[in-house]
Amino acid sequence: MSDLRDLYQEVILDHTKHPRNFGALPHPTHCASGRNPLCGDQLVLMLEVDADRVRDARFAGKGCAISTASASLLTEAVKGKTTAEAHELFTRFHRAVTSVAGDEEAAAGLGKLAALAGVREFPTRVKCASLAWHTLEAALAGATEPVSTE
């Protein structure tokens, strides 16, 4: 295993201890919930989309360090993006956390989100990092059923 510090990087620990955009959004246009039954992680992602652009994003719920940090970083990353750009970011992120080690290209262009690419060395934790992102996809698609990573 690579060093645990590759998984628990400063940016992840920071976002876990001080999650950004945490709490309810007063008037969400899109909303989805996701859960990981194995861990007990659960979160709700709320978006305010106007003219096909994500104006605001917040999340609530509880989970492990990886899933909390991932949700926090997601809300920062998608704000101001068009829904197409948000979807593109999901694809890029998904590739980064599931690609084989050493595929540096996959993490390129992710900015701070690249910190989460370390989970690919920890197969059991990939779903922790992915939960918020699958929930994002569901919210954008207008899903009504909760997302599950199992």
Partner 1 sequence: MRLDPEAIAREFPILSRRIHGKPLVYLDSAASSQKPAAVIDAVSRYYETSHANVHRGVHTLGEEATSAYEAAREAVRGFIGAESAREIVFVRGTTEGLNLVAQAWARPRLGPGDEVLVTELEHHSNLVPWQMVCGQTAATLVVAPIDANGDVIVGEYARRLSPRTRVVALAHVSNALGTVNPVAELAALARRSGALVVVDGAQGVPHMPVDVRALGCDFYAFSGHKMYGPTGIGALYGRREVLEATEPWQGGGSMILNVTFAKTEFARPPERFEAGTPDIAGAVGLHAAIDWLRALDLTAVHAHESELVAYATQRLGEIPGVRLIGTPRERAGVISFVVGDVHAHDVGTILDGEGVAIRAGHHCAQPVMEHFDVPATARASFAVHNTRTDVDRLAAGVRRVLEIFG
Q: Which residues bind partner 1 (CB under 8 A)?
A: 1, 4-5, 7-8, 13, 38-41, 62-66, 122, 124-125, 128
Residue 148, classed as helix, strand or coil, is strand
The three state secondary structure string of 10-66 is HHHHHHHHCCCCECCCCCCCEEEEEEECCCCEEEEEEEEEECCEEEEEEEEEECCHH
Give the nearer residue to partner 1 in terms of CB position, either 7 or 86: 7
Nearer Cβ to partner 1 (40/80) = 40
How far apart CA 117 and CA 135 sit, in angstroms, is 18
**Closest CB 91 distance from partner 1, rounded Å:** 26
Closest approach of partner 1 to the CB of residue 111, in Å: 24
CB of 141 to partner 1, least distance (A): 27
- Is 4 strand, coil or helix? helix
Q: Which is nearer to partner 1, 39 or 45 (CB)?
A: 39
